[in-house]
């Protein structure tokens, strides 16, 4: 921290994108800002390295050394920060696109090497830990290409739960998005994070996966983001992720 007594709260909020300093003073005066759980007053100063700030109940990230990125992982890239066999990893992708980023990033969960789609990267170890903890179970959505036709009973079986080698597993949602000749694209939503879970679930109901893309993690959507690219998470996405993490069961904190 550069200022020994902390930085004025309205300056911190304005720098975090909440509006002009004047608008941020009004937020504070209106009792809408909490610092470390206590309603802040005008004139308050904060240590941006440690302060936990909420506006209208939403966490606001004020540390400028924290990085939160969404990656559209292409097939063939390992969900690992390094590989002793020299294969291409997400560290290589980050280094190519953000060569000046001098930060060690964690990936929030994994995708198989041949699975594509949304992966979150951050140097916020606490958030990464909470979101990946097995008891946490953030909802994720995948699009899978499988052999057609997909029978009407498949959705019911997946929602009811099927027995896998390492125990039962179930989908929270399942629908056929489109059928084209011998292939169908299905959308499956689940809280589960076990290894190869979508491939194993769909194989178990007779539909081995030919292609798998993760399209959402909680509030974050892949949308039209191009394969291999990174983008910073929006303030809204971050606030939602922190809200989810704060509601995590005690053993995931
Ligand atoms: N389920 C899978 O089978 N593979 C992934 O990469 C993610 C979820």
Among protein residues, the one with the nearest Cα to ligand 1's atom 7 is 111
Q: Is the CB of 111 under 6 A from ligand 1?
A: yes
Per-residue model confidence as pLDDT tens digits over 47-79: 988 899 999 998 888 887 889 999 999 999 999
Q: Is 115 in the pocket of ligand 1 (CB under 6 A)?
A: yes
As a whole number of angstroms, the distance between CA 24 and CA 29 comes to 9
How far apart, in whole angstroms, are the C-alpha atoms of residue 138 and residue 84?
Answer: 30
For the chain, give every domain's residue range.
7-60, 68-135+219-252, 140-217
- pLDDT, tens only, 133-143: 777 788 999 99
| Residue 198 CA to ligand 1 centre (angstroms) | 5
The dihedrals phi and psi of 22, each to the nearest 5 degrees, come to -60, -45
Whether the CB of 197 sits within 6 Å of ligand 1: yes
Question: What is the tens place of the pLDDT at every residue in 136-164?
Answer: 788 999 999 999 999 999 999 999 999 99
Q: Is 80 in contact with 93 (CB distance < 8 Å)?
A: no
Class of domain 68-135+219-252: alpha beta
Distance 212 CA to ligand 1 centre (A): 7
Q: Which fold does the domain 7-60 belong to in CATH?
A: 3.10.290
Q: Which pTM was predicted?
A: 0.86
Cα-trace Rg, the chain:
21
Q: Which CATH class for the 140-217 domain?
A: alpha beta
**What gap in Å lies between CA 118 and CA 221, rounded to an integer?**
8
Choice among 47, 58, 92, 112 that is catalytic: 112
| Average pLDDT of span 171-190 | 97
CA of 211 relative to ligand 1 center, distance in Å: 10
144 lines ligand 1 (CB under 6 A): no
- Whether 124 is catalytic is no
Per-residue pLDDT reduced to its tens digit, 76-107: 999 988 889 989 999 999 988 888 887 788 88
Contact between residue 70 and residue 118 where contact means Cβ atoms under 8 Å apart: yes
d(CA 52, CA 241): 15
- Would you state the torsion angle of the CA atoms of residues 41, 127, 229, 73, taken in this order, to the nearest 10 degrees? -160
198 lines ligand 1 (CB under 6 A): yes
Pocket test for ligand 1, best of 198, 200, 204, 210 (most atoms within 8 A of CB): 198
> Beta strand pairing status for 115-122 and 211-217?
parallel
pLDDT at 1 over 60: no
Asked if 122 and 226 count as a contact pair (C-beta separation under 8 A), the reply is no
114 Cα: distance to centroid of ligand 1 (angstroms): 9
Q: 160 is written with which tokens?
A: 């009811």
Percent with pLDDT over 70 in the chain = 96
Which atom of ligand 1 has the smallest separation from the CA of 115?
6
């Amino acid at each position: 921290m550069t200022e020994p007594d902390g930085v004025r709260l309205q300056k911190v909020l304005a720098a975090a994108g909440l509006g002009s300093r004047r608008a941020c003073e009004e937020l504070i005066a209106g009792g809408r800002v909490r610092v470390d759980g206590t309603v802040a007053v005008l004139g308050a100063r904060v240590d941006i390295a440690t302060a936990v700030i909420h506006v209208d109940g939403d966490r606001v990230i004020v540390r400028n050394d924290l990085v939160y990125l969404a990656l559209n992982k292409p097939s063939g890239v390992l969900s690992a920060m390094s590989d002793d066999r020299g294969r291409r990893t997400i560290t290589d992708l980050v280094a190519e696109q953000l060569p000046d980023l001098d930060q060690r990033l964690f990936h929030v969960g994994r995708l198989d090497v041949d699975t594509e789609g949304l992966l979150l990267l951050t140097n916020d170890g606490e958030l990464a830990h909470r979101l990946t903890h097995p008891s946490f179970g953030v909802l994720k959505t995948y699009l899978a290409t499988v052999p057609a036709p997909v029978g009407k009973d498949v959705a019911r079986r997946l929602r009811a739960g099927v027995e896998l080698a390492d125990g039962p597993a179930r989908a929270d949602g399942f629908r056929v998005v489109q059928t084209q000749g011998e292939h169908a694209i299905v959308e499956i939503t689940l809280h589960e994070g076990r290894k190869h879970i979508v491939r194993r679930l769909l194989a178990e109901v007779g539909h081995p996966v030919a292609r798998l893309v993760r399209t959402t993690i909680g509030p974050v959507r892949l949308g039209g983001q191009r394969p291999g690219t990174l983008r910073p998470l929006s303030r809204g996405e971050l606030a939602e992720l922190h809200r989810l993490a704060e509601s995590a069961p005690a053993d995931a904190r």
